[in-house]
Amino acid sequence: MSPARKRRVRLVVALSAAVILASALIYTSFSAASPTVTPSQLAHEGVAGRSYQLTGTVKAGSVRHEGDTLYFSVQDRAGEASVPLSYTGTVPDPFREGREVIVTVEKQGDSYVGERNSLITKCPSKYTVTPSKTKTY
Amino acid sequence: MAQLGGACLILALAVCAYGIGASLYGVRTGRPEWSESGRRSVYALAGILTVAFMVLELAFLRNDFSFNTVADTSSATTPTFYKAAAVWSSQEGSLLLWAWLLSLWSTLILFLTRKRMRDVSAYATAILLGFGGFFIGLMVFYATPFATTDPAPAEGVGLDPLLRHPSMMIHPPMLYSGYTLCIVPLAFGMGALLARKVDAEWIKATRRFAMAAWLFLGIGIMLGARWSYSELGWGGYWGWDAVENASLMPWLCATAFIHSLMIQEKRGMLKVWNVSLVLATGTLAIMGTFLVRSGILSSIHAFGGQTLGVPFVILIGVLILSSIYLVSTRRDMLRSEHRLDSLLSRESIFLANNVVLVGLCFVIFWGTYFPLISEALTGHEASVGPPWFDRYTVPLALILVLLSGIGPVIAWRRATLANARRNFVIPLSFALVTLAVLLATGVADSKPFALAMFCCAAFVLGSVGQEYWRGVRVRRAIAGEPAPLALMALVKRNRRRYGGYVVHIGIAVLFVGVAASSSFQHASELSLSPGQSTKVGAYTVRYVRPTASVTPKYDPVHTGSTLSLGAILDVTKQGKHVTTLTPAEDFYDSGEPAQGSVAHLIGGQPVSQVGIDGGIKRDIWSAIAPDIDTPRLKRIIEIGNKTIPLVRPDEGMIAVAVMAREYMRSPPPAEFHLIISPLVMWIWIGGAIVAGGALIALWPAPSVVRARVSVRARSRAARRLARA
Amino acid sequence: MSVLAAMLTLMLLAAVMAVVSRPLLVARKPEESDTPRRSELEAEREAKYREIRDAELDYRTGKLSQEDYEAVNGALRAEAVQILDKLESSEGGPESSDSEGDGKVEGDQAVEEDRAPDPAK
């Protein structure tokens, strides 16, 4: 085989391998992903046995500790719908009522159970743009 | 003074506009004085932004709360170090820092290349000023650091306690230095494409800056990981969070770029790879800067709420489109001068290295932006978690480490097969011995990836060690020096090679730490009462007694907490005392009087003080979440809220002191999170080795010859060389 | 705007304009002893010298057999001579140019110094 031909073969093999691997990657990402939902979406579409990424704010007055388990409700960011859940695992420091959270939950029977150690709480807002107040120059 | 700052920004914007025009005019019409003027506008920009930055910094240090930024992120009681660093904890301040750093690096490289590469640097100047103008424009039109309120509030909100940690203050400037340094090679890459001069000069100018960008980014990433581990209460150092990934991606591309640049230097190959990599690195750096401050991806850094999103998306779009355009229209001059001579050559290893690194970057990119991708493709937003990332990055990382051990042993151009086989004996035996030992001692049972990583790391150690050994031997044959001197001379004369080898060792050490600490961790989360103990891994941890202090006098990191509740933990192994840990939870003033006169004193966001005993072989990590909601403590707060007036915080603190004493007297069970992680320290050690190696490689070569040699003499020398 | 701020701004403006307009007003002597071609060739030359040293180091640390080394070495040196020829003909000027602009010339002497007793013996 001439060197040029050899090179072309190598290139084709390499590219095909790359395409195959990339496809495998892309395929598994869709099946391994858990959908991001808000409380209202979850209440409507939640299916038992699937896990979801629930995002929203911690509902005021809903936080309760019982032994190892933390009970709280996640509320829509802009709205009233909320979903109560139980959670065990690490609770990040910034966690409190009114804070934005993401937690992986699974519907078990009629209630939602948070996946262990999946609770993420928003870092204090460093980068929201506050409308600049009186410009005095 | 805010007015001066604001005026500086407007002046800076004007200078950017002028500089772009002058540089482009100069290069298109062939009038160097205009290009020179354009370059000087970069110097002027650096000067203006320095003034602006100083104005802001002084405002912080002087507690000038008329500045909105100062009032929002600092307070009179914030310790000075954190005041100085609070400048970049806000959106506006961080934009200013970014623009200022960019102007500094731009000044540096333009000054260093002022006598060369006229065309390329003129275009690069215009591009750098374009970026500067973008960020300054963002400040002037969207988020100015110099907005004021009149009358000024008496006290500021203060720096978030979570950020009151030295590494958190150094992390942003380091990371920003890394990001902005990535823009410089990008600008020169685009400039080279525009001027149609992607050649040896370009390589020479770009290489050092690319390495510096790589170094600073790497340090920034390490600091972030370290902060996450030692400050946040989850005990991990890497969570595949969007912002972590955002800084890792340009770093990976920069790594690939640095390596494959060497091939272009030697063989004129991989030109398309190189310009694509340098453009990708810069674009990913901009995307990283954007991710951190926008709400586009949910992560611990930002949730929902678009901020500054649109301008950035436009910029990124422009970058991607112009990169594609430039590379495709300059295809002809990017053709390789040579082909790969042999598969058994360092060139081909580097090519494989490129592929693996880009593959890693792609995996991380896909996973990070998956919420957006899935939303676009399927209409439903979904995200992938750490297990998915791990599944794909771990094998790739293994291959990477392996390659870094193979590369040093193979020669450039075409290695001799017999020699190569011989050269692999020692590294392979290191790996096999390690394998045998680990299998025999059963240490790495059921953890195949960790086992593989340990063997690969041993391979690298053997390979690099062999290189150093042989190199010293060569040196001694030449110069007859004793070994230590020979070693130093060897490294001095071949900084790139031997510095690079050190980096490879550092990476191997780092990955050993990662593999060990993630695969062999013992963690435990449980509730303990004083006196109780539990077993974690090979250690026994006993909750000796609680600790409580009010406005701790000894506040090592000056965090200014009002109440600190913690525990004394006694750690023993097989009966022998190992260490004493004192994790705690610090409570802060929330600044919201509505909570109640006593409640607000401790109502602010609490911060975990992690108790760590770091060691070469393992880290013992502990965190506590004390129960502050017991009926007794709640009662104290209630009574205090009712009886103590808001305007008497000192009396409120007495109530807090009563709480502390009550906690000590009848401590409720507390939640503990305990982790034994082997070899975590090696991650930081590995990182330090990598930085050291990078510095060696970066250092300018010794000026071997100071004599000015005439051209004739040189050509005579050349003929001699050719004939020798 | 306060008077102080206004004055400082004006000073800054003046400084900026002075810096930026200097090359336009002051005719600089054409310091182009370095034509683009020349500095490009010098960069190539440095790179080629580094390759020669690397090849020798590769040989001496046992990665290349003697035959392979001599082949590579010969090829590299021939390429180096080509570059030097081009350099000589491009300007013909007698003085060396500083590619770093700092009075130092690396390269050939570095190669000479590193050479041990000839490996071809």
Long-range CB contacts (within 8 A, 24+) of A3-11: A3/B339, A7/B339, A7/B340
Is residue C91's pLDDT more than 70? no
Predicted confidence band at B453 (pLDDT cuts at 50, 70, 90)? very high
Tally C-beta pairs within 8 A across B and C.
207
Nearest-Cα residue of chain A relative to residue B231: A93
Which candidate in B163, B303, B590, B630 is best for mutational testing of the A interface (most A CBs within 10 A)? B303
The CA distance from B52 to B46, in Å, is 10
Strands A69-75 and B382-383: unpaired
B458-494 pLDDT tens trace: 999 999 999 999 989 888 888 888 888 888 888 888 8
Is residue C107's pLDDT more than 60? no
Q: Between C16, C47, C104, which is nearest B200 by CB?
A: C47
Q: Between B116, B266, B409, which is nearest C63 by CB?
A: B409
Predicted confidence band at B248 (pLDDT cuts at 50, 70, 90)? very high
Contact residues for C48 (Cβ-Cβ < 8 A; gap 6+): C76, C79, C80, C83
The pLDDT assigned to B714 comes to 56
The CA distance from B192 to B154, in Å, is 53
Is residue B49's pLDDT more than 90? yes
Q: Between B144, B162, B392, which is nearest A25 by CB?
A: B392
Q: Do B91 and A117 touch (CB under 8 A)?
A: no
Name the range with the highest mean pLDDT among B72-76, B282-286, B548-552.
Answer: B282-286
Is residue B217's pLDDT more than 60? yes
The pLDDT assigned to C108 comes to 45
The CA distance from B566 to C90, in Å, is 76
pLDDT, average across residues B666-692 = 93
Predicted confidence band at B713 (pLDDT cuts at 50, 70, 90)? low
Question: How many Cα atoms occupy the beta-carbon half-sphere of B173 within 13 Å?
Answer: 11
Is residue B147's pLDDT more than 60? yes
Q: Which of A100-109, B152-161, B382-391, B710-719 has the lowest mean pLDDT?
A: B710-719
Predicted confidence band at B81 (pLDDT cuts at 50, 70, 90)? confident
The pLDDT assigned to C1 comes to 65
| Neighbouring subunits of B (3+ Cβ pairs under 8 A) | A, C
B558-575 pLDDT tens trace: 557 788 899 999 999 998
Predicted confidence band at B189 (pLDDT cuts at 50, 70, 90)? very high
B387: closest CA of chain A, how far (Å): 9
What does the block give as tokens for B544?
């000796």
pLDDT, average across residues A28-40 = 83
The pLDDT assigned to C98 comes to 44
Predicted confidence band at B25 (pLDDT cuts at 50, 70, 90)? very high
Q: Between A14, A117, A132, which is nearest B147 by CB?
A: A132
pLDDT, average across residues B387-393 = 91
Is residue C34's pLDDT more than 60? no
The residue among B333 and B647 whose pLDDT is bigger is B333
Residues of chain C numbered 25-54 and touching chain B (CB < 8 Å): 27-28, 31, 34, 36, 39-40, 43-44, 46-47, 50-54
A124: closest CA of chain B, how far (Å): 7
Q: Where are the alpha helices (DSSP H) in B407-494?
A: 417-423, 425-441, 448-479, 483-493
Residues of chain B positioned with their CB less than 8 A from the CB of A93: 162, 232-233, 585, 605-608
Q: Do C9 and B15 touch (CB under 8 A)?
A: no
Per-residue burial over B281-299, b if 16 or more Cβ lie within 10 Å, else e, is: bbbbbbbbbbbbbbbbbbb
Nearest-Cα residue of chain A relative to residue B367: A29
Q: Does B4 touch chain C (CB under 8 A)?
A: yes
Q: Do C34 and B33 touch (CB under 8 A)?
A: no
Is residue B709's pLDDT more than 70? no
Tally C-beta pairs within 8 A across A and B.
148
Per-residue burial over A55-87, b if 16 or more Cβ lie within 10 Å, else e, is: bbbbbeeebeeeeeebebbbbbeeeebbbebbb
The residue among B360 and B309 whose pLDDT is bigger is B360
Residues of chain A positioned with their CB less than 8 A from the CB of B7: 137
Residues of chain A positioned with their CB less than 8 A from the CB of B363: 25
The pLDDT assigned to C93 comes to 47
> Can you name the residues that pair with B518 across neighbouring β-strands?
none
Q: Do C77 and B705 touch (CB under 8 A)?
A: no
What's the whole-number average pLDDT of chain B? 86
pLDDT, average across residues B524-535 = 90
Predicted confidence band at A137 (pLDDT cuts at 50, 70, 90)? very low
Long-range CB contacts (within 8 A, 24+) of A119-123: A119/A87, A119/A89, A119/A90, A119/A91, A119/A92, A119/A95, A120/A92, A120/B299, A120/B300, A121/A92, A121/A93, A121/A94, A121/A95, A121/B300, A122/A94, A122/B300, A122/B302, A122/B303, A123/A94, A123/B162, A123/B300, A123/B301, A123/B302
Q: What are phi and psi of B570, to 5 degrees?
A: -105, 125
Cα C73 versus chain centre, distance: 22
The pLDDT assigned to B509 comes to 96
Q: Which of B78-92, B135-149, B683-697 has the lowest mean pLDDT?
A: B78-92
Predicted confidence band at C86 (pLDDT cuts at 50, 70, 90)? confident
Name the range with the highest mean pLDDT among A32-36, B85-89, B217-221, B414-418.
Answer: B217-221
Cα B254 versus chain centre, distance: 13
Predicted confidence band at C109 (pLDDT cuts at 50, 70, 90)? very low
Residues of chain B numbered 350-379 and touching chain C (CB < 8 Å): none
Strands A82-87 and A111-114: parallel
Element (H, E) at B30: none
Which has the closest alpha carbon to B584: B563, B549, B608? Answer: B608
Residues of chain A positioned with their CB less than 8 A from the CB of B590: none
Q: Which of A127-136, B352-361, B571-580 has the lowest mean pLDDT?
A: A127-136
Q: Do B8 and C34 touch (CB under 8 A)?
A: no
